[in-house]
Structure 1
Amino acid sequence: MRNPYAPGAGQRPPELAGRDRELQQFEVVLERVARGRPERSMVLTGLRGVGKTVLLNTFKSMAMQRLWGTGKIEARPEQSIRRPVSAAMHMAIRELAPRHRAPERIEEFLGVLKAFAMRDPAAAKGTSHWSPAIDVPATRGRADSGDLEIDLTELFVDAASVATDLGVGVALFIDEMQDVQPPDISALCAACHELSQSGGPLIVVGAGLPHLPSVLSASKSYSERLFRYARIDRLDRDAADLALIAPAEREEVEFTPEALDALYEAADGYPYFVQAYGKVAWDVAPKSPITVEDVKVASPEAEEELAVGFFGSRYERATPAEREYMHAMASVGDEPVPTSEVAERLGRKPSSLSPARDSLIKKGLIFSAERGLIAFTVPHFGRFLRAQPL
Structure 2
Amino acid sequence: MDPIRNPYAPGAGQRPPELAGRDRELAAFDVTLERVAAGRPERSMVVSGLRGVGKTVLLNALRGQAVSRAWGTGKIEARPDQSLRIPVAQAVHAAVREVAHRHRDPDRVDAVAGVLKSFALRTELKDRKGFRWAPPSDVPAAKGRADSGDLELDLIELFTDVGELGRDLGVGLGLFVDEMQDVASAELAAICGAVHEVSQQNAPVLVVGAGLPHLPVVLSAAKSYAERLFRYVAVDRLPRDMADRAWLRPAASEGVDFEPAALDRLYELTDGYPYFVQAYGKATWDAAVENPVTVADVEEAAPEAEAELAVGFFGARYERATPAERDYMRTMAELGADRETEQVTTADVAKALARKPQSLSPARDGLIKKGLVFSSERGAVAFTVPHFGAFLRAQHA
TM-score, normalised to structure 1, is 0.98
Aligned residues: percent identity? 66
> What is the CA deviation profile of residues 153-200 of structure 1, one whole-angstrom value per residue up to 9, with x for unaligned ones?
110111111111111110000000000111110110000000111110
Is 1:100 aligned to residue 103 of structure 2?
yes
Match of 1:174 among 155, 174, 177: 177
Q: Which residue of 2 aligns with 1:357?
A: 364
- Which residue of structure 2 aligns with residue 245 of structure 1? 248
Q: Deviations over 1:197-251 (max 9, x none)?
A: 1110000000000000011000100100000000001000000000000000000
Q: Is the 8 A contact 1:122 1:129 kept in 2?
A: no
SS, match of residue 302 in structure 2 = helix
Which AA in structure 2 matches 1:109?
A: V
Distance in 2 (CA, whole Å) between partners of 1:315 and 1:242 is 32
SS in 2 for 1:388: helix
Structure 2 residue matching 1:196: 3-state secondary structure = helix
Runs of 4+ in 1 over 6 A off after TM superposition: 123-126
> Does the 8 A contact of 1:123 with 1:129 survive in 2?
no
Aligned residue in 1 for 2:18: 15
Aligned to 1:4: 7
Query: Which of the residues 226, 230, 247 maps onto 1:227?
Result: 230
Say whether 1:378 aligns with 2:385: yes
- Of 220, 227, 231, which residue of structure 2 is paired with 1:217? 220
**C-alpha distance in structure 1 between counterparts of 2:171 and 2:24, whole Å:** 23
Size of the alignment, in residue pairs? Answer: 390
- The structure 1 residue matched to 2:278, chosen from 275, 278, 287, is 275
Between 237-246 and 332-341, report the one with greater CA deviation: 332-341
Query: Does residue 322 in structure 1 map to residue 325 in structure 2?
Result: yes
Unaligned runs of 5+ in 2: none
- Which residue does the alignment assign to 2:199? 196
Q: Does the Cα contact within 8 Å between 1:70 and 1:95 map onto a contact in 2? A: yes
**2:310 alignment partner in structure 1:** 307
The residue identity in structure 2 corresponding to 1:165 is: D
Please give the root-mean-square deviation of Cα atoms over the aligned residues, in Å: 1.2
For each residue in 1:36-86, what CA deviation from the matched residue of structure 2 results, as whole angstroms up to 9, or x when unmatched? Answer: 100000000000000010011011110011000000000001111100100
Give the letter aligned to residue 262 of structure 2: A
2:64 — aligned with what?
61
CA distance in 2, matches of 1:364, 1:166: 40
Task: Confirm or deny that 1:345 pairs with 2:348.
Answer: no
Using the alignment, how far apart are the partners of 1:387 and 1:222 within structure 2? 43
| Correspondence 1:107-146 to 2 at 5 A | 107-122=110-125, 127-146=130-149
Match of residue 25 from structure 1: 28
1:149 to partner: Cα distance: 1.0
Q: Is the contact between residue 116 and residue 135 of structure 2 (CA under 8 Å) also seen in structure 1?
A: no
TM-score, normalization: structure 2? 0.96
Aligned residue for 2:382, secondary structure, equals: strand
**Cα distance, 1:126 vs structure 2:** 7.8
Q: Give how far 1:125 is off.
A: 7.0
Q: Provide the rounded CA distance (Å) in 2 between the counterparts of 1:51 and 1:226.
A: 23
After superposing the two structures, state which structure 1 stretch, 172-181 or 330-339, moved more. 330-339
For the residues of structure 1 that align with 2:128 and 2:296, how far apart are their CA atoms? 63
Tell me by how many angstroms 1:134 deviates. Answer: 2.3
Once residues 28 and 129 of structure 1 are traced to their aligned partners in structure 2, the CA distance between those partners, rounded to angstroms, is 38
Instruction: Give the SS at the match of 1:99.
Output: coil
| CA distance, structure 2, for counterparts of residue 43 and residue 238 of structure 1 | 25
